[in-house]
Amino acid sequence: AEAALLQSQKMEAVGQLTGGIAHDFNNMLTGVIGAMDIMKRRIAAGRTDDLDRFMDAATASAQRAAALTARLLAFSRRQSLDTRPIEINGLIASLEQLLRRSIRENIALHVAPAADALWAETDANQLENAILNLTINARDAMPEGGQLTIETRTVELDEAYVATRPDVKPGRYAVIAVSDTGVGMAPELVQKVFDPFFTTKPIGQGTGLGLSMVYGFVRQSGGQVRIHSQAGAGTTVSLYLRAVDAQPEHDHAASSRSVPEGN
Ligand code: ADP
């Protein structure tokens, strides 16, 4: 079955998650305290031969806790967006080399830009990160290889459409659609993918933050993210960004970076 999803309030899940994270963190601390306690008793009893093992356990547990808080901090840090008109086709073209290097040889990358220049109001660095994230997800969904397509177009969301989506403003949108011919997702899975820390990937490979960060950034810039997926057939993730009129030609890479001021 096909599942189309418009996200609206998943970021609120962050609050609900806090309890779970606190629990995980507590478990890690318990590991450290337990190992310390054993070491203390062994030292008191003069059994110092085997302390390394407990030192290592304490260190590993503390490192897991540190990694968890680092991820949490990176996630909660709401960077203010550096939003300006960006030409999307040019941005994708300049990213293509990196995208090619991020996939495997058994995946064919097809970039299909809209015929005309496509200007949207967005943060170039964040958008690059988002497209890279979607590309890596597509790659991971195609372990046996397949086709990855990045397509751009404009779409007009009219009042009638928007009436069913109170969180969307009517108007013209630039759409960036990243499609794969991979494993796809069942509808129940699609419902969860924007949740922070939700991942089906093995530990060390997935953080579960990719799509929630993509979602946060796109929503923050007044756009929307939609997922169409079919288990066993593939997935399309579409980013809708508010389109703006064509701008005087300029180098998007140069204009997308702000130079910090001195001191
Ligand atoms: P991560 O990639 O670290 O797991 P994400 O938030 O990017 O975190 O993705 C969450 C989950 O959504 C993935 O673990 C995977 O189960 C699912 N997912 C994301 N993109 C795709 C895709 N293109 N095809 C199939 N499943 C996907």
Quick one: average pLDDT of 214-227? Answer: 90
Cα 206 to averaged position of ligand 1 atoms, centre (Å)? 8
Where do we find the tokens 């939003």?
83
Alpha-carbon distance of 5 to 195, in angstroms, equals 13
Choose which residue among 10, 71, 137, 195 to substitute to test ligand 1 binding: the one with the highest number of ligand atoms within 8 A of its C-beta: 137
Distance CA 263, CA 261 (A): 7
pLDDT of residue 25: 84
Task: For tokens 């969860």, name the residue.
Answer: 192
Q: Place 100 in a pLDDT band, splitting at 50, 70 and 90.
A: very high
pLDDT band for position 159 (cuts 50, 70, 90): confident
Question: Which has the closest alpha carbon to 76: 132, 18, 127?
Answer: 18
**What is the whole-number distance in angstroms between the Cα of residue 87 and the centre of ligand 1?**
27
Nearest one of 215, 127, 214, 225 to 168, comparing CA atoms = 225
Which among 195, 228, 229, 190 has a CA at the least distance from the CA of 214? Answer: 195
Question: What's the predicted TM-score (pTM) here?
Answer: 0.72
Length of the chain: 263
Could you give the CA distance from residue 175 to residue 167 in angstroms, rounded to a whole number?
Answer: 17
Mean pLDDT confidence for 132-145:
95
Query: Residue 124 C-alpha to ligand 1 middle, in angstroms?
Result: 23
Q: Is 199 helix (H, G, I), strand (E, B) or coil?
A: coil
Model ipTM value? 0.98
Q: What is the pLDDT of residues 1-22, one digit of tens each?
A: 333 333 334 444 445 556 667 7
Probe ligand 1: pick from 211, 217, 237, max atoms within 8 Å of CB? 211
- Which strand (E) or helix (H) includes residue 111? strand 107-112
The answer to whether 239 touches 130, Cβ cutoff 8 Å, is: yes
- 8-state DSSP, 2: -
**Position 128: which residue type?**
E
More confident residue, 80 or 101: 101
- The enclosing H or E element of 38 equals helix 13-44
pLDDT of residue 241: 96
User: CA–CA separation, 121 vs 222, rounded Å?
Assistant: 9
Give how far the C-alpha of residue 144 lies from the chain's centroid of Cα atoms, to the nearest Å.
23
Q: Is 7 in the pocket of ligand 1 (CB under 6 A)?
A: no
Q: Which of 199, 225, 227 for mutating ligand 1's site (highest number of atoms within 8 Å of CB)?
A: 199
d(CA 74, CA 129): 14
- The Å distance, Cα 175 to ligand 1 centre, comes to 20
Q: Is 227 in the pocket of ligand 1 (CB under 6 A)?
A: no
pLDDT-derived band at 255, boundaries 50, 70, 90: very low
